[in-house]
Chains A and B, each alone.
Chain A
């Protein structure tokens, strides 16, 4: 059996070998392990992604394929997917999964200078299974909101994670200042914007009642599709109340850099708030 000293020497030798090897790799200047990067498979547009070898009529195939977002002309490995096709699909689903199941970091909310509250849900899993709890605050939180936020604001803005935390982190830094700027232009007084974790659309109605707001805006992450995690919606009500019909909400959806850009959406939301206050109505009855 090896004695203690021998073991120590052996360990020291192995460690030194690993360190040297790492250093050697760091110093290496060959292309294979330094500059080269595997191309981003998600950068390829589906319309350009075509793998059928010796297609009978490729021009017509490509013409029709260009008419649909469906993943056509992907070919096959036997009857299964080719590796890149498989991994691309996984990446597109992963973006959606991350949007739903990751939390908006408290740090991010703090940096935005917003107070942060939580609906009656205690976890993401509960939030997903209990839409009813995501529409309500408990009494303690309700009292806190009332005491910490400006009461009787003309326009109250809340930010909700909804079904996409990615939508919040991707858009809020742009859309929030855009709305504030817009409200200022119209001379409308804004309340204290705050963040709500595990929130559904309807939670805005309790906010309206707690703070006695005229117009309430809920900026909320949309349910992601494949490859689209950043999309946000804005639900806006005039004098909303708990139990109000859905038709009473005005909605702007598809807010993200590939859809309605957040700056544009922000300006539009301020304009809608102004119209609601002038017409004293929101939802289906609002003349836009």
Chain B
């Protein structure tokens, strides 16, 4: 393993794989804040050169956080397919990159061999790719999953409705749900982030979503994004939920801070298969995002992008129905502007799909980032174009509970027209039957009126 090279006569030497991974990153404010970023543009390239000569084996045997001290590392490495790991362990990342980005290499073949790649390998590959490299590899990777309905096929573009409310008022939540449906948003899932994390509140919201789905025979999934233990208790008491949600991260200290253990999620996954209202087999929903570990001082000195890859490596144990990043939701100390956010989204899409996850996109920015709705729309267009499994949608993109901006119901409806991708099959049929949508996924005159579902 050689960690030394020269560029224009100047020698660069790195002390370990972890340092190479951090310094090979495209610029991100989070790496600078942690004090692990490349100090010059040339040092960044030197790290990339060194990385391109490391092998799959080097990166797998040198995880960013040691196997012995971190259960997240153990879940990732214990879950690897040893046949494909052994087959590829002597490949350099530079050679592997060329194989992946070649359009002749089929996406399905990549998905099969990637079962032998650890999160550090996957992160390392992304660090050697330009934005278009990431796009053309991601576009080939198709990950389909099913709960009540199937998502993930490239011709399908579903959306998560995010009808949040600052005090969990049911009427306030439901009018946002109906408005979303009236624009064709909610076929990936209707998912509410509650303010109050308790069993009663989780159940109350779960019943409200279920009542709508039942009354109107709406073919979709529901989720209430309280803590996993709260959802488990609510479902034990009979609350109707399709999916179990949990925020996850890429280090043991971060997962502990989120109140999550491997066994707890195993139990939750088992419970929702027996007590949930969706058929499956994929019934978990995870949210992630670059920078979450450093924001709670649980990064272990590892860069936010490698930690994000590790998050996906942890998540794949549970064969979730859907996963989306929300890179950009923390603020400028992790991702400074629209350019960094766009890069993060491309990385996350690639790393998620390489990890076998049904990767969607939660495009978001806070008001103290150097970013606006124009940046967000570019990210949204790009992600839908490269084949993200789904995107979020909110009334005008304004999350009145979490206080950041996201994509709007209007953006959702527009992206179907721009990409030609359609809603989930059953949902599309249902929208057409109601007279709200046409065969080509365009909206009819009746669409956009939430009170369509409030008729006397």
Residues of A within 8 A of B (CB): 52, 54-58, 60-61, 63-65, 67-76, 79-81, 85, 89-90, 93, 96-97, 100-101, 125, 128-132, 163, 223-226
Contacts and interface: CB of A to CB of B under 8 A. Distances in A.
B456 interface: yes
Given A93-B372, A129-B336, A226-B405, A68 B175 contact: yes
Contact of B410 (A81, A93, A129): A81
Contact of A129 (B29, B175, B414): B29
A70 B171 contact: no
Contacts of B107: none
B451 A61 contact: yes
Interface string B295-339: 000000000000000000000000000000000000111001000
B171 A76 contact: no
A101 B372 CA distance: 13
Interface string B428-456: 00000000000000110000111110111
A130 B175 CA distance: 40
Contacts, number: 137
A63 B178 CA distance: 14
B213 interface: no
Contact of A93 (B166, B183, B373, B442): B373
Given A70-B163, A81-B408, 4 more contacts: A73-B450, A74-B396, A75-B448, A130-B32
Interface residues of B, number: 49
B451 A57 contact: yes
A56 B171 CA distance: 17
B176 interface: yes
B395 interface: yes
Contacts of A55: 449, 451
Nearest to B403: A225
A71 B398 contact: yes
B300 to A, nearest CB: 18
B33 interface: yes
Contact of A56 (B179, B332, B452): B452
A254 to B, nearest CB: 13
Q: Identify the 9 closest CB pairs spanning chains A and B, nearest first.
A: A68-B172, A64-B175, A79-B413, A96-B367, A67-B172, A128-B332, A57-B451, A61-B451, A71-B396
Contact of A70 (B29, B165, B414, B417): B165
A224 to B, nearest CB: 5
B423 to A, nearest CB: 14
B333 A128 contact: yes
